[in-house]
Amino acid sequence: MMYKKTQIMSTNEIKNLEEIFEAKIARDEKIEPKDWMPEKYRKTHIRQISQHAHSEIVGMLPEGNWITRAPSLRRKVALLAKVQDEAGHGLYLYSACETLGISREELYEQLHSGKAKYSSIFNYPTLTWADIGAIGWLVDGAAIINQVPLCNTSFGPYARAMVRVCKEESFHQRQGYEIMMTLCNGTQEQKDMAQDALNRWWWPSLMMFGPTDEESTHTAQSMKWKLKRKTNDELRQQFIDQTVPQADILGLKIPDDNLKYNNDTGHYDFGEIDWSEFWQVVKGHGKCNKERLNARKNAWENGKWVREAAMAYADKQHQRKTKQTG
Ligand SMILES: [Fe+2]
Ligand SMILES: [Fe+2]
């Protein structure tokens, strides 16, 4: 359909539309689903928004694993609420993505077939209760840093979804930090558990910001479209600068011997990230890649009867209504 439309448009007309589009972005105005946009903008946004949606949905799995084992009713309620929030984030984002002309079924199909990516952080296992603390503190903490600039991104539906998502992410970060705080004020064994979780989650959290700026293939274009407002390396540095003092308050040691405050730059210098691990996990060889995808595929297949029942019910309601009005 889109192909035909562009075919009947003259080159001049397209150039005009492109100029209007670029000018809007320059003025910080939002691009809305019905506005004309270059195909590449549409495709890049489908890729990024769906990847984000998949991450929210797959991201429920590592923590969902601990809902039944949360150590108190209060912890269980908070974790349950958090995991439900993530489901909500996934649903807003799928809806935002659908406004770009792709169906929910296609998006799911891309996830289930392994064609679409989701954040690699969720391919790591949650071994102890302290991991739930570390995830909230570090993973949701990193997510906030990634997502706050997206509240100003150029595509309207994405930007608006992010406002609420970010508010909820702050709650997630706090509940995680509070779990860590409680463990760190507890017995030596509890403190060791917190340290062990930090040791395992620290480096994968730094990888959440993506490859370094030199390696990142999409950064330049995404910055131009204001899909990205800061580069991967800038965001990673911001995360480190913000998180190190929080670790100090907990009395935990960040597992990086090269981590040191640099008086000249006003930032923390840090050690080399193991990018081979990052690419291994991205390529599907992380500890839990298979398990996570299988869980999603099974949920889709086992939920088929629910979707069918909901459709049948909606059909019946619709028929009843048309009978009444007709
Ligand atoms: Fe989320
Ligand atoms: Fe979250």
Instruction: Classify residue 170: in a domain, yes or no.
Output: yes
Q: How far apart are CA 203 and CA 134, in angstroms?
A: 12
* pLDDT mean values, one per 10 residues, the chain (326 residues): 58 88 93 95 95 96 95 96 97 97 96 94 96 98 94 94 94 97 98 98 96 82 81 96 98 98 97 95 92 95 96 95 81
140 occurs within a structural domain:
yes
| 3-class DSSP string for 44-81 | HHHHHHHHHHHHHHHCHHHHHCCHHHCCCHHHHHHHHH
Does residue 213 contact residue 228 with C-beta atoms inside 8 Å? no
**What local confidence, expressed as pLDDT, does residue 229 receive?**
80
pLDDT of residue 326: 64
At residue 248, the pLDDT reads 98
Give residue 132 CA to ligand 1 midpoint distance, Å. 14
Q: How far is the CA of 173 from the centre of ligand 2 (A)?
A: 7
| Cα-to-centroid distance, 147 and ligand 1 (Å) | 9
Within a domain: 94: yes
Task: Find the 233 Cα to ligand 1 centroid distance in Å.
Answer: 21
**Both tokens of residue 221?**
């274009």
Determine the pLDDT at residue 203: 98
Reference 148, options 164, 135, 125; nearest CA is: 164
320 lies in some domain? no
**199 Cα: distance to centroid of ligand 2 (angstroms):** 20
Q: What is the DSSP string of 248-305?
A: HHHT---S-TT-EEETTTTEEE-----HHHHHHIIIIISSSHHHHHHHHHHHHHHTHH
- Rounded to the nearest angstrom, the distance between the alpha carbon of 113 and the centre of ligand 1 is 23
- Whether 280 is covered by a domain: the verdict is no
Number of domains in the chain: 1
**What pLDDT score does 1 carry?**
43
State in Å: Cα 169 to ligand 2 middle: 5
Distance 210 CA to ligand 2 centre (A): 18
How confident is the model at residue 7, as a pLDDT? Answer: 58
Asked if residue 175 is part of any domain, the answer here is: yes
Q: What pLDDT is attached to residue 216?
A: 79
Residue 3 lies in a domain: no
Ligand 2 centroid distance, CA of 263 (Å): 33
Residue 204 domain-assigned (yes or no) = yes
What residues pack around ion ligand 2 (CB closer than 5 A)?
A: 140, 169, 172
Question: What is the pTM for the complete model shown?
Answer: 0.90
Per-residue confidence (pLDDT) for residue 191, from 0 to 100: 98
Residues spanned by the domain of 104: 16-273
Residue for token pair 């009005």: 325
128 in Cβ contact with 193 (< 8 Å): yes
CATH value at residue 50: 1.20.1260.10
